[in-house]
Structure 1
């Protein structure tokens, strides 16, 4: 559909423009709010690794590490979160599923897993990463 600019320097009758959001670059906190992820202490925004599953140096079985999250499942869970009737119900849902609704998920093409880049310089400045 796009947006119509009433008038530009080159187009006195206006111009239709279209744009797509293909990357989100922000700190971890921004990613969580913008894309419907929860705290990085609970789970990674990119893979199925959860913070409560510690690894103390054993690399014997890495088959369950780095299983990439499914963007379709993320979107479905976010829609389910939206159907919750109360804040308490939503909090319980988030603890189990690790997802909340975000308005950016209205963009049918947007992938909240692959389109995210954590800004390392901002994280270093804030002291999040060392």
Structure 2
């Protein structure tokens, strides 16, 4: 069975360009064709479906025990048996950029592949080359894009789950 190439391989060139763009570069524009203006660029967010956002931003998939990219809620259970209950928000520990980066460093320092994978499962994270952008916050800057959220029914599905919970 063939495996997918690592996502980081594809986005490394983009990250290198964004590092340069963060510091700025001179560009002539239609308003200033003779005198270049300083242009700076930054990645504001990553908007895509859930599997792609997890791969790009360094989180494990939605079926992982720690499958949420916004909190540390553990969904206990085996393959196909996850318990997604326990929606008491006051009991959820929210993720943040600082702790996320510290945990990724801990994962990266693992001596063996097995221990690295164990830490990835424990924390629900893995290294993403996007972390090389010092300003990038994978927790806040990872969003579910409008197409998947509205047109494919993700928002409606969540609303129906909430309505069913309130009527039960």
Q: Does 1:80 align with 2:106?
A: yes
Q: Give 1:70 shift.
A: 2.0
Query: Structure 2-normalised TM-score?
Result: 0.60
Unaligned runs of 5+ in 2: 1-22, 78-82, 158-168
C-alpha distance after superposition, 1:28-78 (max 9, x if no partner) = 11211121111112221111222218365x77x65313x321221101111
More displaced stretch, 46-55 vs 15-24: 46-55
Query: Structure 1-normalised TM-score?
Result: 0.75
- Within a 5 Å distance, the mapping from 1:48-87 to structure 2 comes to 48-52=72-76, 54=83, 62-65=89-92, 67-87=93-113
Bigger share in helix? 2
How many residues in Structure 1 have an aligned counterpart in Structure 2?
126
C-alpha distance after superposition, 1:70-97 (max 9, x if no partner) = 2211011112222234432321221122
Backbone CA RMSD of aligned residues: 2.9
Q: Does 1:111 align with 2:137?
A: yes
Select the residue among 20, 36, 43 that pairs with 1:14: 36
Partner of 2:60: 38
Cα contact 2:43–2:136 (8 A) shared by 1:
yes
Partner of 2:147: 121
More displaced stretch, 44-53 vs 68-77: 44-53
